[in-house]
Structure 1
Amino acid sequence: MASAESASLGRKVRTAARWSLVNTVVLRLGNFATGIVLARFALGPAEWGVYGVAQTVLMVLLSANELGVGLAVVRWEGDLRRFAPTVQTLSTLSSGLLYLVLFAAAPALADALGSPSASWVLRVMCVSVVLDGLAQVPNGVITREFAQIRRLVLDSVNFGISTGVTLGLAFAGWGAMSFAVGALAGNAASLLGAVIAAPGAFRFGWNRAEAGALLRFGLPLAGASLLALGVVNVDTLIVGATLGKVALGYYVLAFNMSGWPVRVVSEAARRVSFAGFSRLAESAGPALADGFSRALRVLVTGTVPMCVLLAGLAAPVVGLVYGHEWLPAARALPWLMALGLTRIGCELAYDCLVAIGARHALLAVQGLWLAALIPTLFGGARLDGIAGVSAGHALVAAGLVVPAFLLALRRGGIGVRVVARACAWPFLAGAAMAAVLVGLPRALGHSLLALAAASAGALAVYALGVLPTRHALLGVEPRHGRHARPRALLPGPSRPPVPPPRHSSESDPEPLLDGTGADGVRP
């Protein structure tokens, strides 16, 4: 019985992971191309700065808009029909109240962030908070069922509508407001699609006992999520308030570039990792540790080469892709790539700790991160502008937050050795790749052809470096030399999951696609 359940979960996770990766890659490429067109032909750094302020406020609101109760749809065992209507009511009410507060505070908030012209952009873009609250249960059902093909269709519709509206309005001279209206149009379409894709999930209801249990479960997670969003977005607020909206435009562009590898790899994994870890949370300790190790190895191996390439070729890439007007953004990019690589592991650890119920540990880690980050970023901004902010961000994450997450994981049964084994080969290969990337241009020059040759050589060195881990990456276990058998990215439970005490459940908010998604956000 346990074997059948393990095989079934493994198949679900592998299938969902493949479709999630396709979804993320396609949409990221589309967002990348759209960003290039807008930056080159329609919008300047000041407009990007206004958009950055609005997007930051939106993400912070989305992190708390349903009070954490939406996570119940994925995590809780039992009959969804019993508690889902209460989740729908709670998430809709809380998101509506949040939007009313934002609407009243928008002018003062925009002025405090150094972009007074952003107030109406904030008001329009943040209608997405209400749409996200309405979509919590349908989106949670899709995640719970590993239905990533449906997710691909929904996100594609969202992207097509939001991109078309944004481009049309930007070229018509709407400036940063084009982002807000485009995002709103895409989110509305995504909500309608989610309701259709999860029939019967969109129902309102109220049960007082269920509501109390949901709030006790969700509020600590909402607090941790809010702190996590603060960690990811406090840099934008500090840059806007201390350096102005033009510098913020450069910083937002660099931060978005640093997110290319992080989002392509991490979002695809996180759309299935939380649900997978949740299924393993009640199984034996080694199964959870093995699943975490496998997922981390795949994520790090896929992310390291992209991070090293973008960090090593920051100025040429920015100039080639966006134009020389945007070259100041290149100063921040190497540090932000280091931050992005660190965030990969932290995000996976976050999902794992949520799945095993370590909510207080998450609050402690995120609170520590934010408390250390604020003074560090202010100091970095004064010392070296956006480059100083980026360096401070990366150093706090690597020097303080990673050890804190390792300690929390260890208490959850995942030791430091598990993490070290997963990261060792990719990190060593990445160091060799960086050496090649630095050395070859010195010997060959800095022409486009020389940089292409250096990139190809560096990638070849990296591929050779991670070759010893090929069996683990392909999801097979060597047996009798040439023979091998497949294994799941996340192993199935060794025994059937034990339902949590009374009324428990949990859903993973989906990441926002560069401000154009309708799903919830968590860093």
Structure 2
Amino acid sequence: MSTESTEELGTLVRKGMRWSFASTFLSRLANLASGIILARLLTPNDYGLFAVATVSLVILININDLGLEQVLVRWPGDVAKVASTATTVIFGFSVVLFIGFQAGASAFASALGAPEATDLVRVLAFAILINGALAVPSAMLTRSFRQDLRTYADLTGFIVTTGLTLALAMTGFGVWGLVWGRLLGNLVNGLLHLKFTPVRYRPGWDPAVARELLRGGLPLAGATILAVAMVNVDNVVIGRLLGPETLGLYVLAFNLSSWPVTLLSIPVARVSVPAFARLQEDLVALRAAFARSMGLLMAAAVPICGLLAIMAGPTIRFVYGDKWAGAATALVFLAVLGLARVALQLCFDVLIAVGRARQTLGLQALWLVVLTPALAIGAHLHGVAGVGVAHMAVAVVVMLPAFLFALTGLGIRPGLLGSAVLRPALGAVLLCVVPYFATRELRPDLLVLLVGGVGGLALYLPVVLPMRRGLAALKTAKPAGREAETEAV
């Protein structure tokens, strides 16, 4: 990789990262505010019914592109030669999924213990068609690092979703406000992606191109559906075994625990996959960039996850109200899961970027196979808290070692990552001291949150602030050269 291309990559990464974080932070902040209002207006049962419908949507919307969106993002040649065929394949398969799910919506909702959610499932399924029609423009924005335009589109779609949802909820539409808000917001977001895409491609067909795309995309789609199933199997288990009201409590806790993932991992993934892909010919540079990225992500995620875990009860009672207090028992463990998910997502990103799609497929399959019975056992033994414990234990005890082993194929050793996350690990111990005692000695909840949060951060930040030097090094993404690469291999 030449010096000029390296500098260009660094510029693109910096620009894309800034816009990704800006988009995610603003949308999460607004989502938090709207979520608080909705939690006061709706019931745990409403949230549970919407969760049942959302499970179907999330699964389908993550497989309807057959992995081709990621293939287009990292396509090494002229993407114009394959984009038209990709458009046809993605939308055609989306239509097939839509028809199938309209027919099977009743059976799906009943299997999750909420037959009254059937109509919700059918309406939300229209989002599959929207996503399928506009997947290629979205991929083109990601490929060209136009996170500024994605930010505008994503925030506009979010504003539409939130505004309509709140308006309908406040006028008595209940859970249907969530459904119509989500659907219209997706449509607006997708149309803006189409408007902003650098190049628009008409549907086309080339059998040879289709076969080549599917060879690269199907393993990615398999890994994605396993990842989505892994994240949503807890909703299936709780809905079937514990009912929609308990599912609503769990969904609130899981969404809170996912803050680090949505605030950090999602914007990073939009940039890291194409950035790591451009470094795949220089393993020394790739390893260095990955280790620095992991350290910085952990430094940012630890305070969010640590404070949520230690102060779960006061956080939920103060922010959402006493009717949601039952979610705290799960949040304690799900917050730790959130931290593990941030680390695992970056591992997933680098494996995808260097073309290890089949390996990620095997890892996701292992995760799902181990997780499903663990969740059922946890639900039977300790209800919603048991599900949280099972989710956390499988991620930390099984999947972290499995991903670390997979990374050794790229020369990324546990010792390298251990050095990268040493400061966040030490800081985590100090972070938890003040909030631990605050939750036991202080009242009311607001005082606990203020003292615990400020005191914990005061001890944590001095430990991790020296890592800012790593951020400057990461921005340069300097390759080590061919000789170093050969030696590393």
| Inter-partner Cα distance in structure 2 for 1:411 and 1:38 | 46
Equivalent residue, structure 1, for 2:452? 454
Q: How does 1:161-200 map to 2 (within 5 A)?
A: 161-200=160-199
How far apart are the structure 1 equivalents of 2:443 and 2:181?
Answer: 43
Q: Distance in 2 between matches of 1:210 and 1:446?
A: 63
1:450 and 1:223, CA in 2 relative to 1: closer, same or farther beyond 3 A?
A: closer
Q: What's 2:83 paired with?
A: 84
Which residue is 1:209 aligned to? 208
Indicate conservation of the 8 Å contact 1:50/1:245, yes or no.
yes
- Cα deviations across residues 233-271 of structure 1 (Å, max 9, x unaligned)? 100000000000000000001111111222111122111
1:397 match: 395
CA distance in 2, matches of 1:51, 1:466: 39
Q: Distance in 2 between matches of 1:103 and 1:213?
A: 31
Aligned pairs (5 A) from 1:17-32:
17-32=17-32
* Partner Cα distance (2:247, 2:377) in 1: 16
SS at match of 1:201: coil
Query: 2: CA distance between counterparts of 1:449 and 1:140?
Result: 46
Determine the C-alpha separation between the residues in 2 that align with 1:109 and 1:199: 39
The one-letter amino acid paired with 2:386 is G
**C-alpha separation between the residues in 2 aligned to 1:447 and 1:321?**
10
DSSP 3-state at the match of 2:362: helix
* 2:153 equivalent in structure 1: 154
Query: Higher helix proportion, which one?
Result: 2
Alignment of 1:137-152 (within 5 A): 137-152=136-151
- Equivalence for 1:94: 93
Equivalent residue for 2:311, pick from 301, 313, 318: 313
Matches within 5 A, 1:56-67: 56-67=55-66
Fraction of identical pairs, as percent: 40
Corresponding position of 1:509: none
Alpha-carbon offset, residue 212 of structure 1: 0.6
Work out the CA distance in 1 between the residues paired with 2:69 and 2:190. Answer: 15
Deviation at 1:308? 0.7
Structure 1 32/69 Cα, relative in aligned 2: closer, same or farther at 3 Å?
same
Per-residue CA shift, 1:411-449, capped at 9, x if unaligned?
122221222122221011112211232134545565533
8 Å contact kept, 2:260–2:342:
no
The 2-side partners of 1:39 and 1:444 are apart by: 26
What residue identity is the alignment partner of 1:32? L
**Given that residues 13 and 489 in structure 1 are in contact (C-alpha distance below 8 angstroms), is that contact kept between their aligned partners in structure 2?**
no
Contact 1:195 1:202 in 2 (8 A): no
1:253 paired with 2:252, answer yes
Judged with a 3 Å threshold, the aligned counterparts in structure 2 of structure 1 residues 101 and 58 are, in CA distance, closer, same or farther, namely same
1:265-284 → structure 2 map (5 Å cutoff): 265-281=264-280, 283-284=281-282
- Residue of structure 2 equivalent to 1:424: 422
Bigger drift between 24-33 and 444-453 goes to: 444-453
Residue of structure 2 aligned with 1:371, choices 369, 385, 391: 369
Give 1:182 deviation, angstroms.
1.0
Distance 1:445 1:34, change over 3 A: closer
DSSP-derived class of the 2:185 partner: helix
Q: How far apart in 2 are the matches of 1:308 and 1:489?
A: 31
Say whether the 8 Å CA contact 1:380–1:389 is kept in structure 2. yes
Contact 2:314 2:445 survives alignment (8 Å): no
Q: Distance in 1 between matches of 2:428 and 2:102?
A: 46
- Tell me, in whole angstroms, the C-alpha distance in 1 between the residues paired with 2:442 and 2:165: 42
* Cα deviations by residue, 1:175-218 (Å, 9 ceiling, x for unpaired): 22222211111111112111110143242101111001011111
| Structure 2 CA distance for aligned equivalents of residues 492 and 363 of structure 1 | 29
The yes-or-no answer on 1:299 pairing with 2:297 is yes
The verdict on how the C-alpha distance between 1:493 and 1:274 changes in structure 2, with shifts beyond 3 A counting, is: farther
Name whichever of 366-375 and 416-425 sits farther off.
416-425
The residue identity in structure 2 corresponding to 1:58 is L
Counterpart mapping for 1:64-143 below 5 A: 64-143=63-142
* Runs of at least 5 residues in structure 2 that lack an aligned partner in the other structure: 483-489
Q: What's 1:54 paired with? A: 53
Question: Contact (CA 8 Å) 2:428, 2:460: kept in 1 or not?
Answer: yes
Change beyond 3 A, Cα 1:125–1:3: same
Q: Which residue of 2 aligns with 1:330?
A: 328
Instruction: Go from structure 1 to structure 2 and tell me whether the alpha carbon gap of 1:3 and 1:439 turns closer, same or farther (over 3 Å shift).
Output: same
| Whole-angstrom CA distance in 2 between matches of 1:22 and 1:233 | 27
Pick from 273, 283, 286 the counterpart of residue 285 of structure 1.
283
Q: CA deviation at 1:451?
A: 3.8
**Please, which runs of 5 or more residues in structure 1 have no aligned partner?**
477-486, 496-523
SS of equivalent to 2:203: coil
> How many residues get paired?
482
- Read off the aligned partner of 1:364 and give its amino acid letter: G
Aligned partners of 1:267, 1:199: CA distance in 2, in Å? 22
For residues 72 and 200 of structure 2, the distance between their equivalents in structure 1, rounded to whole angstroms, comes to 10
Deviation at 1:466, TM superposition (A): 1.4
Distance 1:164 1:111, change over 3 A: same
Question: Which whole-Å CA distance do the structure 2 matches of 1:379 and 1:437 have between them?
Answer: 31
1:204 & 1:447 partners in 2: Cα distance? Answer: 56
Give the AA of the match of 1:85: S
Aligned in 2, Cα 1:315/1:447: closer, same or farther, shift over 3 Å? closer
Return the alpha-carbon distance in structure 1 between the equivalents of residues 466 and 113 of structure 2: 51
SS in 1 for 2:376: helix
> Would the aligned equivalents of 2:318 and 2:445 in 1 still touch at CA under 8 Å?
no
Partner Cα distance (1:441, 1:238) in 2: 31
Mapped partners of 2:444, 2:479: distance in 1:
50
CA distance change for structure 1 residues 491 and 16 in 2, over 3 Å: closer, same or farther? farther
Contact 2:292 2:470 in 1 (8 A): yes
Measured in 1, the distance between the counterparts of 2:122 and 2:80 equals 34
Distance across 1 between alignment mates of 2:449 and 2:50 = 33
| Correspondence for 2:3 | 3
- Between stretches 383-392 and 175-184, larger displacement belongs to 175-184
Report if the CA contact (8 A) 1:239-1:381 is conserved: yes
SS at match of 2:432: helix
For 1:357, which of 355, 358, 379 is the aligned residue?
Answer: 355
Contact kept? 2:303, 2:457, Cα under 8 Å: yes
Aligned residue identity for 2:102: F
**Is the contact between residue 6 and residue 493 of structure 1 (CA under 8 Å) also seen in structure 2?**
no
3-state DSSP class of the match of 2:22? Answer: helix
Note if contact 1:9-1:491 (Cα within 8 Å) is conserved in structure 2: no
SS at match of 1:109: helix
User: Which amino acid is the alignment partner of residue 488 of structure 1?
Assistant: K
User: In the alignment, is the contact (CA less than 8 A) between 2:46 and 2:175 conserved in 1?
Assistant: yes
Query: Residues 210 and 33 from structure 1, CA distance in 2 versus in 1: closer, same or farther, beyond 3 angstroms?
Result: same
TM-score (norm 2): 0.96
Q: State the 1:171 CA deviation.
A: 2.0
Measured in 1, the distance between the counterparts of 2:406 and 2:81 equals: 33
- The CA deviation at 1:172 is 2.5
